[in-house]
Structure formats: C-alpha cells, structure tokens
Amino acid sequence: MKLLNIVLIILLSFFFVEISILQVFADDPFFPKISSTPHPVGSGARSLGIGAFIAVADDATSASWNPGALVILEDTETSIVFEGIHKIDRIHFSPNSESNSFQSISEENINFFSIAYPFTLINRNMIVSLSYQHLYDFNREWSFPMKLIHEDIDAKLIIDENVNYEQSGRLSAIGLSYCIEIKPGLSFGFTLNFWDDNLTKNEWQEGYYITGTDTIELPIDIPDLPEIPPGTFEYIDSHKYLLKGFNFNLGIYWAVNKKLILGWVFKSPFTADIEHTSFSLINQAGFEEDPIKIEYPGEELDMPMSIGIGFSYKIKDNFKIAGDLYRTDWQDCTYKRSSGIEESSISGDRIGESDIDPTYQIRFGMEYRFESPKKTHISIPVRTGIFYDPTPAVGNPDDYYGFNFGIGVNFLEKYIFDIAYRYRWGNNVGDSVIYNYPGDFSTDVSEYIMYSSLIVHF
C-alpha cells in the first residue's frame, strides 16, 4: 500500500508538471510578454541636427515634416538619407535579479529617399515630390535567465529558463506630395502616404525561444521516494504581421516677416489591415506538442493622429533658432483581434480599461552657417539642439531626453552633404513593455543615432 501511494504521488507530480508548464506559457501572469512601442523616426540629417524642423523644412524631407514648406525649393532636387542606430537597454527585474542584464542592438537603414520637381502654373509656384520614408522602428533583442516558482497544494514547480526574445521590422511609406504657394510667404501642402507591404517592407515580427528545466519539490518528505529528476523543455512562440493602410499629412508654412516663420502639420489617423500569423511549439520530456500554425483573419491596427506647430526665427542672415511642439494621441492606438476584442496597442488592456495619455514632444535647436568668400560658393552650417521626447506608457508617458548636433557642407549651392548625431536616453522607463509581470520591471535606455544625407540640385 505504501508503494502504491509513492507511485501515485510520482504520477500525479509528473502530470502536474505537464499541465503547469502549459499554463505558464499559455496565459500564466508570471510569463513575461514583451512588446516594443512603435517609435517614430524622423527623416533627414539636417532635421536631426537641428531637432526642430516644422517651420524650417527647407529641403525635400519636409514631405514628412511639413509638406506646406516644399514650395521653398526652387530647383529640382533629389536626396537620400542613411541612418545607423545603436541601442542599449539595461533591464531590471525585481525580485528576479538573476534576469538583470545589458542588452543591445545595432542596425543600418535607408531613412529617406525623394525626388522633388518645382514648377509654375496659373502664376503660382507649385511643387510635386515622390518619396520613401522610414517612419517607425520595432527592433529589440533581449536574452536573459529567469526563475519562476509555481506553487500548488500538491507540489512546488521551479522553472529555470533562458528567455530569448526578438522583435524586428519597420513601417515605411511611399509618399506623394504636392504644395502650392497661396500668396508670397504663405503655402499649403499635403502628402499622401501609402503603407503597403507590396511597395515597401511594412512588416514586423516578434518571437520567444525559451529553454530550461523544471524541478518538483513535494510538500512532505516521503521515505524511500526516489528523487524526481529535473525535466527539460523548449518553448517557441512567434508572430508575424503584415500591414497595409493609407493616411495623409497636411502642412502650412507662413513667413510672417523676414525673420519669423510659423509652421503647422497634421498627420491623419488611419486604420491599417493586418495579416497576422503565429507559430508555436512546446517540447517537454514526457510530453510533446505538435507545432501549431494559426492565421488570424480580419485584424486591424488603428494608428493615432499627430499634430504639431513650430517656429523659426532668423537672428542674422546666417543664424536661426527653431522650436517645435508635437502631440500624438497614443490613447487611440488600438488593435482589433480576429475575435473582435479591441485592445490598447500600448498596454495590451482592453479598450475602456487602458490608461494611456497622449505624448507631447518639445524640441529646440539652432543653426549657424559659416560662409566662405562668394567666389568659392562653399558654406558650412553647424547645428545643435535639445529635446524632450516621451513615449506612451500605462499611467503616464515615459520620460526621454536628448541632444543632437550636426554639420554640413554646401558646394556651389548644388551639392549638399550633411551628417548628424543624436543621443537619447530614459531612466527607469518601460514598465509597460512586459505585460502582467508580478514584480517591478524597468529599463535604462540609451540610443545613439547617426544620419548622413546627400542632396543634389539640378
């Protein structure tokens, strides 16, 4: 009878392990669900150097900053912008201090490409442009150990795991812009943005690869009970998303006088169609699940509205300052699942239960241009700026700050080369990027961004 009880306890314990592993990975609150917030990426090395560009916007990147300023361009212009990004996350888990670590990722992309053609019609200056814009970035890679304890009246399950998480992808758009000079010093423009994976790579994916061991501790000491060896497991869960949608930007550029310029931009909200597929697999000693691939039809992502105002003021002919204030309504960024459930894309909570506020970016910058003798036709602009650039989070936005500087060379007023650097940081941020973690979680983030651009006038 004693032997029968021992065997029964062992069998129940193994059954408990199998069921608990599935629960932990399926929907247990101890399992971290990491998600990146889409962070808008600005276009242009000159704009990055100054930081505030809504009322400056005097090159082809104004298609993304303020299309109302495009008419400033007097010559046909083509431009290309390259970017390099290095990001460091210092992650902090409490009480899981074994998971604290440094994580980093680097990448290079084409940030912007365009061609703009100015012309005159019915005695008015006009311009059209075609552009590619890299707008949102999703990249993150994390790898860390974690120890989870799952208790029941029958036994305690201790899970030692290694978590590998990766999220990658981007959102970009093909922009068709038009701008008209309403009267001298006042112009209006718009950009039609086509977000389509068939035109540009509009997709992102996230995945977890988790391996580890599970150990059972029984609540009582039973004589002659053989030691239950640790079990091993492997968990894979990946999701891929393709996005298609359309929105527009409106812009106004107003030269109040020879020194002061005001700018206004509106970026419309839009609903994007999402093609979502997932793949999952659980392998465990004594239990193996067949791979599962699921397609989720009819899912949608609501992207939020943004609105910004800016000014630039010419202190001297070769010295100007600029400032921007920019609001994004992240509380309206929602995801509609194929089941019909609508969630906040920031917190993962259902609509009505989510506590997300809009963010307000504040940027201030300046540009000083060193002029060479006129016969050489060379100028060297130097730029710098500071900014407050929060990201959406549960309760209150996470605070990010930064500074930027850049330098350029203008040859013969035809070839323009610029390079710019930006450093952006946030401390004790990101507690919303892991859903349902029962302890305290935060990150210290450092971002290093370099832009270089070439503009050619014809």
**Domain harbouring 242, CATH code:** 2.40.160.60
Highest mean pLDDT among 34-43, 88-97, 303-312: 303-312
Q: What domain range includes position 388?
A: 2-457
Highest mean pLDDT among 165-179, 251-265, 419-433, 435-449: 251-265
**Average pLDDT over every residue of 49-71:** 88
pLDDT of 287 > 70? The answer is no
What's the pLDDT at 24? 42
Confidence of residue 23 (pLDDT cuts 50, 70, 90): very low
Instruction: Look at the chain and report how many structural domains it folds into.
Output: 1
Task: Give 206 or 347, the one with higher predicted confidence.
Answer: 206
Dihedral sign for Cα atoms in the order 424, 428, 432, 436: positive
pLDDT above 70: percentage of residues in the chain: 85
What's the pLDDT at 154? 64
What's the pLDDT at 401? 95
CA 183/CA 355 separation, integer angstroms? 45
pLDDT of 11 > 50? The answer is no
Task: Give 347 or 448, the one with higher predicted confidence.
Answer: 448
Q: Are 22 and 282 in contact (CB under 8 A)?
A: yes
Question: What are the backbone dihedrals phi and psi of residue 120, each rounded to the nearest 5 degrees, phi first?
Answer: -120, 135
Confidence of residue 36 (pLDDT cuts 50, 70, 90): low
**Average pLDDT over every residue of 23-31:** 42
**Average pLDDT over every residue of 100-128:** 91
Dihedral sign for Cα atoms in the order 83, 361, 269, 341: positive
Confidence of residue 170 (pLDDT cuts 50, 70, 90): confident
CA 70/CA 253 separation, integer angstroms? 9
Burial string for 69-81 (b: 16+ CB within 10 Å, else e) reads bbbbbeeebbbbb
| Token reading at 310 | 């800016």
**Average pLDDT over every residue of 211-227:** 69
What's the pLDDT at 206? 87
Look over the chain and give the mean of its residue pLDDT values, rounded to a whole number.
Answer: 83
**Average pLDDT over every residue of 159-179:** 89
Highest mean pLDDT among 141-145, 357-361, 434-438: 357-361
Task: Give 158 or 404, the one with higher predicted confidence.
Answer: 404
Task: Give 138 or 398, the one with higher predicted confidence.
Answer: 398
Task: Fill in the DSSP letter of residue 356.
Answer: B
pLDDT of 105 > 50? The answer is yes
Question: What are the backbone dihedrals phi and psi of residue 431, each rounded to the nearest 5 degrees, phi first?
Answer: -70, -10
C-alpha of 202 from chain center: 13
What's the pLDDT at 151? 72
Q: Tell me the Ramachandran region of residue 202: left when phi exceeds 0, alpha when psi lies from -120 to 50, beta otherwise.
A: beta
pLDDT of 9 > 50? The answer is no
